[in-house]
Structure 1
């Protein structure tokens, strides 16, 4: 069966996952992580993709991004793969692929869904038992959003900006959201959506997408959704 085309829209946020082949590590040490952040900075600026949030885990990474043009996200990810994998293979004396297939991406729109996706990404190390406070994980954007350390890599999403009139108010408002966490239903829906390339959007946009992109933006199936394990955390 032919794979479905990705639903990528210019000017809209997208949740992106990139995983190691057969769950192998894509970051062996902090030098690898620093290299990935440098490459992300370079390619996101080169292709006009705003990076709102990220987390680097041992065998996968999550991002929330907004491409300025629909084609920009794929171009950025192709460039990231070329630059990072080449450096990784040379450094660790290996050859061949590093990724488990192509990157996964799901459209995210609406205040509720975008802020939930931000938390989903930045709470990943907490769910994995690596830290208690998400800001303590140095390889994510949580420290930026919570006022721990500013990161030039990050372009704050307008919905994060709307949490307050000052940096302190925004950080405080986001801290309260992080403390609320996510419901199991929100977590499962975001996981399934990005792995299957399905949008998580407002009802108004969903209706429009079903008319214009019916093959990808299908209505959710009836009944309870099938459980899908989050990549790399089980």
Structure 2
């Protein structure tokens, strides 16, 4: 039985998740995280900006990205990134076999609310995993870029920030992301 084709159209956005095979770590040191991010950047250049990364969070054994497509299906981008990274990882750690569990998971983002809730989920991942107390403390996430603590790189903050009033949009996004934490 073949795999079910993913729904795609130009401008479609997706929540993408790729997990390590057997839930094993796919990032073992700082260099691994940096290499994965540089591969994403190279893939965006390779496909001449046909993809836009809205936000991301790299956990030790899985990846979350919110990606908008332009003129090519999502699989080209994610396939390229994960394939190049798997070759790097396998060579560095003398690893044999599949680095990633199955093919990547993707969920089509169908409206603005889903876009915001997905970005919130992505950015709170390290907090919920008890890796950090605050999402801005996690180095391998785009959250601190969106709220203005780090220089924007790789992502386009305007996509998320456009859902908030222009004035104080970064602070309003921070309040939105942290709102569920106040209830815990």
Q: TM-score under structure 1 normalisation?
A: 0.72
Residue 178 of structure 1 aligns with which residue? 177
Alpha-carbon distance in structure 2 between the residues aligned to 1:158 and 1:55: 17
Alpha-carbon distance in structure 2 between the residues aligned to 1:38 and 1:46: 12
Show structure 1 runs of 5+ residues with no match.
Answer: 183-234
1:63 maps onto 2:65 in alignment: yes
Q: Report the CA distance between 1:8 and its aligned residue.
A: 2.4
The RMSD of aligned alpha carbons is 1.6
Q: Is the 8 A contact 1:111 1:159 kept in 2?
A: no
Alpha-carbon distance in structure 2 between the residues aligned to 1:133 and 1:148: 13
Q: Report the CA distance between 1:2 and its aligned residue.
A: 4.2
Residue 118 of structure 1 aligns with which residue? 119
1:37 maps onto 2:37 in alignment: yes
Q: Report the CA distance between 1:79 and its aligned residue.
A: 1.1
Alpha-carbon distance in structure 1 between the residues aligned to 2:160 and 2:126: 23
Q: 1:139 to 1:148 in 2, by over 3 A?
A: same
Q: Report the CA distance between 1:164 and its aligned residue.
A: 3.0
Q: Report the CA distance between 1:3 and its aligned residue.
A: 3.3
1:141 maps onto 2:147 in alignment: no
- 1:140-219 correspondence runs (5 A): 140-166=141-167, 169-181=168-180
Alpha-carbon distance in structure 2 between the residues aligned to 1:70 and 1:91: 31
Q: Report the CA distance between 1:121 and its aligned residue.
A: 0.4
SS at 1:165 equivalent: coil
Q: Is the 8 A contact 2:54 2:160 kept in 1?
A: no
Q: Which has the larger radius of gyration?
A: 1
Alpha-carbon distance in structure 2 between the residues aligned to 1:150 and 1:135: 13
1:128 maps onto 2:125 in alignment: no
Q: Report the CA distance between 1:97 and its aligned residue.
A: 1.3
Q: 1:108 to 1:27 in 2, by over 3 A?
A: same
Residues 146-197 of structure 1 deviation map (CA, whole Å, 9 limit, x = unaligned): 111023200125342241325xx11111011012138xxxxxxxxxxxxxxx
Q: Could you list the runs of 4 or more consecutive aligned residues of structure 1 that deviate by over 4 angstroms after TM superposition?
A: none
Residue 26 of structure 2 aligns with which residue? 26
Q: TM-score under structure 2 normalisation?
A: 0.91
Show structure 2 runs of 5+ residues with no match.
Answer: none
Query: Between Structure 1 and Structure 2, how many residues are aligned?
Result: 179
SS at 2:52 equivalent: strand
